[in-house]
């Protein structure tokens, strides 16, 4: 047995899969899934369809499935089957994930040719965390009615810009010009049509940097925006904060429940959220935008409190970083409207990848680059720009590192609890050490936050209505 061989207490492959492989005479070994496994050996299975019918696609997790190439190859515009249909189909066999076994469905199958170059392959068993190790020859015997082709893009040829912020301006301009067919070099601000920052947001930004700002100042700004005022009062009255008595005014909400720091950052998050509407299209399986934002902000709030006092960054600003960490997603939809749907479709068929690979492949930039650029363009705090820009780099140790480090940790903790999208990624010890947190303490924080998940959803719904 290998290091990854299943421990006795670990769940096994579902009985229907074991029976199917026994019937086919396929020898296999059950293996525990973990971050150290070679992605070239792991078979990603997705079920696509169109008006003609469904098609199973098999490719290695070391690749991105390119729907454009698939269209050229098949002459069909295939997209991921609906969540409802997939859940219903898997439910018939009591499976939680799609196994890479063509014999399980009646759909025709197309597989990436390079899969058969690996001596042994790892296939999803249908049970989360359990893979089936099968020889390449045995796998090939199951593909007698399937077709081989080349439609994947190797991840080694896609380089998301995680750590070269000096290139952001140039890369964003190139991406925009490629999609707008503009040939004249222009300033980025003139190329991208960004809506003006709301007057309320401008006033709040000024208050944030004013050391003499008082509760009366923020109350006055919030009360000039009736929708924002109602939102703040409603937020304070939420059972999540369990405030005693009825909240009657914005000042009441600030003094008795939320506090100056939280309100000023909450109001700023709401004001910025109004500048960009939520896109009508979105990937299937995705956690709703504001739900993800509120969960992340709440986890970051808890992580900040759990840090050693001497290391803690500004709590309100870390909360705001969580609230706005995915703001680049809204900006991509705003700047590239015809192509945003294509991004969504690719995210659906590449659940094993972080969105950075899909966006880099299709646009040449990521939501983190463009979101960080916008924060600077709007004169937001540099800590916030850094938080958005470096949130997917767990090794980032540059200026204001605690902000992106907290976002990175919160997003990965939530992903480990099936909130958010993309792969479940490892949390390095070095990331925890930089923040002065233990793994146990970090997990305790996310557990406590998710115990209030119903209440957090109610808070998120308030944002969704703005």
* Tokens at 286, concatenated: 């995705």
Give whole-number Cα distances, 15 to 82, 132, 390, in Å.
26, 13, 43
Residue 358 has pLDDT above 70, yes or no: yes
Residue 67 has pLDDT above 70, yes or no: yes
Dist. CA 360–CA 154, nearest whole Å: 13
Dist. CA 441–CA 428, nearest whole Å: 15
Q: What is the pLDDT of residue 239?
A: 75
Residue 2 has pLDDT above 90, yes or no: no
Q: What is the pLDDT of residue 438?
A: 95
CATH topology of domain 165-195+276-464: Hypothetical protein af1432 (1.10.3210)
Q: What is the pLDDT of residue 187?
A: 42
Give whole-number Cα distances, 370 to 43, 326, 336, 367, 385, in Å.
32, 11, 12, 5, 10
What is the average pLDDT score of the chain? 85
Dist. CA 362–CA 340, nearest whole Å: 10
* C-beta atoms surrounding 413 within 10 Å: 26
Q: What confidence category does residue 40 fall into, taking pLDDT thresholds of 50, 70 and 90?
A: very high
Q: Provide the 8-state DSSP code for 451.
A: H
Q: What is the pLDDT of residue 242?
A: 67
What is the b/e burial string over 342-364, where b = at least 16 CB atoms within 10 angstroms of the residue's CB? bbbbbbbbbbbbbbbbbbbbbbb
Q: What is the pLDDT of residue 191?
A: 53
Residue 402 has pLDDT above 50, yes or no: yes
- Contact between 449 and 316 under an 8 Å Cβ cutoff? The reply is no
Considering only the C-alpha atoms of the chain, give the largest distance between any 2 of them, rounded to a whole number of Å: 76
Residue 183 has pLDDT above 60, yes or no: no
Q: What is the pLDDT of residue 181?
A: 41
Q: What is the pLDDT of residue 465?
A: 58
Using one digit for the tens of pLDDT, what is the confidence trace for 184-232? 334 455 555 666 677 788 888 788 777 788 888 888 888 887 877 887 8
Dist. CA 38–CA 131, nearest whole Å: 13
Using one digit for the tens of pLDDT, what is the confidence trace for 69-113? 998 988 889 999 998 999 998 998 889 889 988 888 878 999 999
Q: What is the pLDDT of residue 182?
A: 39
What Rg, from alpha-carbon coordinates, does the chain have? 24
CA neighbor of 391 nearest in space, from 419, 355, 438, 442: 355
**Among 2-16, 72-86, 358-372, 421-435, which stretch is predicted with the lowest mean pLDDT?**
2-16
CA neighbor of 298 nearest in space, from 411, 204, 425: 411
* C-beta atoms surrounding 303 within 10 Å: 25
Q: What is the pLDDT of residue 190?
A: 54
Give whole-number Cα distances, 52 to 69, 71, 78, 81, 127, in Å.
18, 13, 9, 13, 30
Dist. CA 240–CA 237, nearest whole Å: 8
Give whole-number Cα distances, 293 to 138, 379, 451, 463, in Å.
45, 21, 17, 10
**Among 241-245, 332-336, 359-363, which stretch is predicted with the lowest mean pLDDT?**
241-245
What mean pLDDT do residues 112-137 have?
93
Residue 48 has pLDDT above 90, yes or no: yes
What are the domain boundaries of the chain? 15-156, 165-195+276-464
Task: Classify the phi-psi angles of 225: left when phi > 0, otherwise alpha if psi is within -120 to 50, otherwise beta.
Answer: beta
* C-beta atoms surrounding 160 within 10 Å: 20
Which one is the CATH code of 15-156: 3.90.960.10, 3.90.1150.60, 3.40.50.300, 3.40.50.880? 3.90.960.10
Specify the pTM.
0.80
Q: What confidence category does residue 38 fall into, taking pLDDT thresholds of 50, 70 and 90?
A: very high
What mean pLDDT do residues 50-57 have?
90
What mean pLDDT do residues 452-464 have?
76
What mean pLDDT do residues 320-339 have?
86
Q: What is the pLDDT of residue 378?
A: 82
């Amino acid at each position: 047995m290998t290091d990854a061989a299943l421990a006795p207490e670990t769940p096994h492959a579902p009985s229907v899969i074991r029976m199917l492989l026994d019937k086919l005479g396929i020898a296999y070994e059950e293996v525990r899934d973990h971050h150290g496994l070679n992605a070239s050996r792991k078979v990603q299975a997705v079920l696509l369809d169109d008006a003609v019918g469904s098609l199973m696609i098999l490719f290695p997790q070391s690749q991105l499935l390119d729907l454009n190439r698939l269209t050229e190859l098949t002459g069909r515009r295939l997209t991921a089957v609906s969540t409802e249909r997939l859940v219903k189909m898997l439910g018939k066999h009591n499976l939680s994930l799609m196994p890479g076994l063509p014999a399980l469905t009646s759909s025709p199958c197309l597989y990436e040719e390079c899969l058969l170059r690996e001596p042994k392959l790892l296939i999803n068993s249908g049970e989360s965390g359990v893979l089936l190790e099968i020889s390449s020859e045995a796998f090939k015997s199951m593909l007698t009615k399937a077709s081989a082709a080349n439609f994947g893009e190797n991840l080694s040829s896609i380089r998301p810009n995680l750590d070269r912020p000096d290139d952001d301006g140039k890369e964003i301009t190139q991406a925009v010009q490629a999609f707008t067919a503009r040939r004249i070099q222009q300033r980025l601000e003139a190329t991208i049509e960004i809506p003006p920052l709301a007057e309320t947001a401008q006033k709040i930004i000024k208050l944030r940097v004013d050391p003499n700002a008082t509760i009366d100042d923020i109350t006055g700004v919030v009360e000039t925006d009736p929708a924002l005022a109602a939102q703040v009062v409603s937020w304070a009255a939420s059972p999540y904060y369990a405030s005693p008595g009825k909240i009657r005014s914005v000042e009441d909400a600030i003094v008795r429940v939320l506090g100056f720091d939280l309100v000023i950052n909450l109001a700023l998050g709401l004001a910025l959220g109004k500048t960009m509407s939520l896109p009508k299209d979105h990937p299937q399986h995705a956690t709703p935008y504001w739900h993800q934002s509120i969960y992340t902000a709440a986890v970051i709030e808890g992580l900040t409190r759990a840090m050693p006092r001497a290391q803690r960054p500004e709590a309100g600003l870390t909360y705001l970083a969580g609230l706005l960490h995915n703001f680049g997603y809204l900006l991509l939809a705003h700047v590239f409207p015809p192509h945003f749907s294509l991004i969504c479709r690719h995210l659906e068929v590449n659940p094993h990848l972080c969105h950075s690979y899909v966006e880099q492949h299709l646009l040449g930039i990521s939501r983190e680059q463009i979101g960080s650029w916008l924060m600077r363009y709007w004169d937001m705090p540099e800590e916030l720009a850094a938080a958005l820009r470096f949130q997917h780099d767990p090794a980032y140790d540059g200026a204001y590192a605690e902000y992106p480090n907290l976002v990175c940790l919160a997003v990965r903790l939530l992903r480990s609890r099936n909130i958010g999208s993309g792969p479940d990624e490892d949390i390095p010890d070095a990331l925890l050490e930089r923040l002065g947190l233990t793994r146990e303490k970090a997990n305790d924080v996310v557990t406590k936050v998710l115990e209030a998940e119903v209440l957090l959803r109610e808070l998120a719904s308030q944002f969704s209505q703005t």
